[in-house]
């Protein structure tokens, strides 16, 4: 039996991953990544950078992407709960402009693999959340792009929280999906 359950989302390459958790009265143990199993599931990527962020309830980060140096991401939550979203920006994809969302939490221990060519964002649902992710390329300053979290052409159905969404100033200025061209994702 494998240590991971790889769940397709209906969008090529976008995968929800459930690890096998071994627990007893002392706590639990799980593997969060095992190259052979990921490769066998079609995720044959080299991860070159790990990131972690902490946010409070209502923080909405995204929807972000890098243009010339796109990053595939393996994301998970180590404390708290978030609603995580990926939007397909690959012009040749049958699901171009479609989104998928999944709740990730310290409790459910799910992970989400987001390939290159996607915008990514998340909304914090718990009082606080710690979010960690592996990337297939390095962060490149000046290569960032984004689309508004509430873009009507994408129409992500974000959950409601009992506070206002908290966005960065930068995330409030992204041009809409229809106003952008995503030619740099042609190869993906």
Mind telling me the catalytic residues?
Answer: 64, 133
Q: Which residues pair with 166 in a beta bridge?
A: 59
Rg (CA), the chain: 16
Number of C-beta neighbours around residue 60 at 10 A: 23
Question: How far, in whole angstroms, is CA 132 from its chain's centroid?
Answer: 10
Contacts of residue 36, defined as CB under 8 A and 6 or more positions apart, other chains included, come to: none
What is the secondary structure of 6-54 as a DSSP string?
A: EEE-SSTT-EEEEE--EEETTEEE--S--HHHHHHTT------EEEEEE
Please state, in angstroms and as integers, the Cα–Cα distance from residue 161 to each residue in 60, 76, 83, following that order. 11, 20, 11
**Cα–Cα distance for residue pair 188/184, rounded to 1 Å:** 9
């Amino acid at each position: 039996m494998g240590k991971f359950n790889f769940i397709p989302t209906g969008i090529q390459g976008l995968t929800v991953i459930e690890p096998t958790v071994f627990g007893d009265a002392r706590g639990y143990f799980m593997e969060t990544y095992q190259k052979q199993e990921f490769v066998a599931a079609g995720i044959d990527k080299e991860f070159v950078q790990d990131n972690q962020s902490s946010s409070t309830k209502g923080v909405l980060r995204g929807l972000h992407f890098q243009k010339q140096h796109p990053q595939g991401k393996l994301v998970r939550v180590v404390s708290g709960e978030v609603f995580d979203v990926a939007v397909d920006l690959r012009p040749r994809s049958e699901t171009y402009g479609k989104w998928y969302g999944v709740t990730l939490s310290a409790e459910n221990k799910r992970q989400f693999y987001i390939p290159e060519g996607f915008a990514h964002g998340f909304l914090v649902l718990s009082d606080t959340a710690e979010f960690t992710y592996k990337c297939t390329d390095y962060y490149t300053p000046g290569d960032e792009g984004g689309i508004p979290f509430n873009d009507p052409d994408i129409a992500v159905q974000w959950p409601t929280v009992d506070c206002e969404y908290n966005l960065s100033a930068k995330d409030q200025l992204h041009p809409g999906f229809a106003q952008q061209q995503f030619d740099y994702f042609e190869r993906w």
